Structure 1
Amino acid sequence: MDLCITIKGVSFLLQTGLGIMGNVLVLAAYGHVALMEPQLLPVDRIMAHLAFANLMLLLTRGVPQTMTVFGMRQLLNDSGCKVVIYGYRVSRALSVCLTCMLSVFQALTVAPAAGPQLAKLKARLHQLVMPTFIGLWLLNMAVCIAAPFFSIAPRNGTVPAFTLNLGFCHVNFQDNLSYVINGAAVSGRDFAFVGLMLGSSGYILVLLHKHSQQVRAIRRSQGTSMEMRVAKTVVMLVVLYAVFFGIDNVIWIYMLTVAQVPAIVADMRVFFSSCYATLSPFFMISSNKKLKERMVCAAREYKQEPAKESVDKTNFK
């Protein structure tokens, strides 16, 4: 096997494997928290939903991409391509939207109650989480509906113009107009949500700066201190997403300017667009005290079980 292909395959394998493991751990930890607590906080519910979206992204794009790099062909037929591409597009869209939602909700949580309207809104955040989830699902399912119609299994021969060659599937837009319209719709949605998340994160940073200047007064309230710690986690996630979003869209804009996209360019975009889904769960785990406590407890219980079994066997003898 060629060295370049080996490096690319190992990179995708590590990225996909670590990402799936990290997101599954986050979902399992939040599942345990949900069983132990009467109600999850809005930020916890959003982070759990974000981990689910990122897990689906890696399963629908990272797994088939890795298999294709290692030489597996004809993984999917036309119907399979439509399902996988649609699942990937929706999960990728949900990833950016949920990160934006996380930033906006946290900005509202830490914002000082300047008036009765804001106070009412902060009190209703628990009630707004589920309707917002449903709205984001419906929005992105509608925006991404075009991709399945253009998705086909790879054919023998050359790749037609205005086709995104994903290796395991082709997205053939037939002409330049549909190619550009689809790209503009997806990019417009992404830029709108990224702009909103950056604005809300900038507001959080301003509040964090004020918090650092008034730390003695704020420490009197444990809840406020916890909210500020969560706010720092949210800002880190937004910065992480913004970095990879920028790289992803630089490559995407280049792809919109050429009729025939080189395979190496498509692979680079796949890798960088999946980096957030891989790294974000580890940011959540490292910065979220609640998740770390659940994982430490689970690890201790796992270690204690073999010890109990050995003691029981000794007593039986």
Structure 2
Amino acid sequence: MSSFKNVFYFQAGLGVLANMFLLFFYVFIILGHRPKPTDLISCQLTFVHIMVVLIGGDNLLTDLFESLNIGNDFKCKTTFYLFRVMRGLSICITCLLSVFQAVTISPNASFLAKFKQKLKKYMIHVFLCIWFFNLSFSTNRIFYAAGFTNVSETNQMQVTKSCSLLSMNYIIRGLIFTISTSRDVFLVGVMLFTSTYMVIFLYRHQRQCKHLHSISHLKESPEKRATQTILLLVVFFVVMYWVDFIISFTSEMLWMYDPVFLTLQKFLMFVYPTITPLVQISFDNRIIIMLKNIQLKCHWSCS
């Protein structure tokens, strides 16, 4: 298990460093330049992913609580609640990013074009609604998460080394599961719909360009690169989400967390927050240009 723990810490470290770099970049762009609307969304998504990596499993935030001698019960309630909030924010903001990009690239004559200005105008209101909804929606974890005491195996389900979920009424458990699943399925459905729309739009746009220019003269626009990046992130998110969903559904319905499944789930938990900043850094020309300028300055200063 020590090798797995080393893998988790390496994955968590890479995820935190990549997201911190991206967060500083977006803050710099937002404060000092004219940011794109997607920069505001991506900045929040990056912050959420930093929190997911810090909170996930028995990791960095848990170690911090232990060093501060904070009670195990409070620690478990806090980590479970914050993780559920950040997980909900991750899917909501990823969905918002997909919707906004679909609206951005849509032609002026299309139905989605009507929402371009409205989305930009009410972006802050959308952010506040998303945060308020997820902060409120995840409060059930405060009541049903507790420190693992090993007193009654039937009364609690051990989820991590020191935390467990308390047993709840079957109807309440089914209701919470149904509501959370309905929310996630709806958001994933919206992402798949907007992604399909963007793929069709890019395909038609590519065909039109081929009629107007030769292939050798075709140049990728920033909008196309941004759309391809978001499509890649959405597809990757949907795959990771459904794998995580199957594991969580099986564990909670059977009221049993298998150690192997838990290890796999913890690994998958960090994959999307770790891969996302790397994809965004690779596809964002502004970051590539900035890194090249830094490299040139270092080269001239050292020579």
Residue 187 of structure 1 aligns with which residue? 181
Residue 43 of structure 1 aligns with which residue? 38
Preserved contact between residue 55 and residue 61 of structure 2 (Cα < 8 Å)? no
Preserved contact between residue 54 and residue 60 of structure 2 (Cα < 8 Å)? no
Residue 5 of structure 2 aligns with which residue? 9
Post-superposition shift, 1:162? 5.7
1:266 aligns with 2:262: yes
Post-superposition shift, 1:307? 4.1
Post-superposition shift, 1:32? 2.0
| 1:16-58 alpha-carbon deviations (Å, 9 max, x no partner) | 1111111101101112222331x31111111111111111111
Match for 1:234: what amino acid? I
Distance in 2, Cα, partners of 1:105 & 1:282:
21
Residue 206 of structure 2 aligns with which residue? 212
Distance in 1, Cα, partners of 2:213 & 2:119:
22
Match for 1:173: what amino acid? S
Specify the SS of the correspondent of 2:107. coil
Preserved contact between residue 195 and residue 231 of structure 2 (Cα < 8 Å)? yes
Preserved contact between residue 12 and residue 65 of structure 1 (Cα < 8 Å)? no
Identify which of 51, 61, 79 aligns with 2:56: 61
Preserved contact between residue 29 and residue 295 of structure 1 (Cα < 8 Å)? no
Cα pair distance change 1:89/1:177, threshold 3 Å: same
Preserved contact between residue 84 and residue 138 of structure 2 (Cα < 8 Å)? yes
Cα pair distance change 1:265/1:160, threshold 3 Å: farther
Preserved contact between residue 103 and residue 234 of structure 1 (Cα < 8 Å)? yes
Post-superposition shift, 1:94? 0.6
Preserved contact between residue 56 and residue 269 of structure 2 (Cα < 8 Å)? no
Post-superposition shift, 1:126? 2.2
TM-score, structure 1 as length reference: 0.83
Post-superposition shift, 1:275? 1.2
Post-superposition shift, 1:295? 3.5
Distance in 1, Cα, partners of 2:144 & 2:155:
13
Distance in 1, Cα, partners of 2:59 & 2:109:
50
Distance in 2, Cα, partners of 1:218 & 1:208:
16
Distance in 2, Cα, partners of 1:18 & 1:99:
21
Distance in 1, Cα, partners of 2:162 & 2:292:
39
Post-superposition shift, 1:305? 9.9
Post-superposition shift, 1:63? 5.9
Specify the SS of the correspondent of 1:282. helix
Residue 89 of structure 2 aligns with which residue? 94
Specify the SS of the correspondent of 2:149. coil
Distance in 2, Cα, partners of 1:27 & 1:218:
38
1:27 aligns with 2:3: no
Specify the SS of the correspondent of 1:170. strand
Using the TM superposition, name which of 12-21 and 291-300 deviates more.
291-300
Cα-Cα RMSD: 2.9
| 1:243-272 alpha-carbon deviations (Å, 9 max, x no partner) | 101211111221133122223322322221
Preserved contact between residue 85 and residue 147 of structure 1 (Cα < 8 Å)? yes
Preserved contact between residue 157 and residue 256 of structure 2 (Cα < 8 Å)? yes
Aligned residue runs from structure 1 range 114-263, under 5 A:
114=109, 118-157=112-151, 159-161=153-155, 163=157, 165-215=159-209, 217=212, 225-263=221-259
Q: Equivalent pairs: percent with the same residue?
A: 26
Cα pair distance change 1:76/1:64, threshold 3 Å: farther
Unpaired runs of at least 5, structure 1:
309-317
Cα pair distance change 1:14/1:157, threshold 3 Å: farther
Preserved contact between residue 164 and residue 261 of structure 1 (Cα < 8 Å)? yes
TM-score, structure 2 as length reference: 0.87
Residue 283 of structure 2 aligns with which residue? 287
Distance in 1, Cα, partners of 2:234 & 2:162:
31
Preserved contact between residue 163 and residue 260 of structure 1 (Cα < 8 Å)? yes
Specify the SS of the correspondent of 2:165. strand
Identify which of 76, 80, 89 aligns with 1:85: 80
Preserved contact between residue 60 and residue 84 of structure 1 (Cα < 8 Å)? yes
Match for 1:36: what amino acid? G
Specify the SS of the correspondent of 2:266. helix
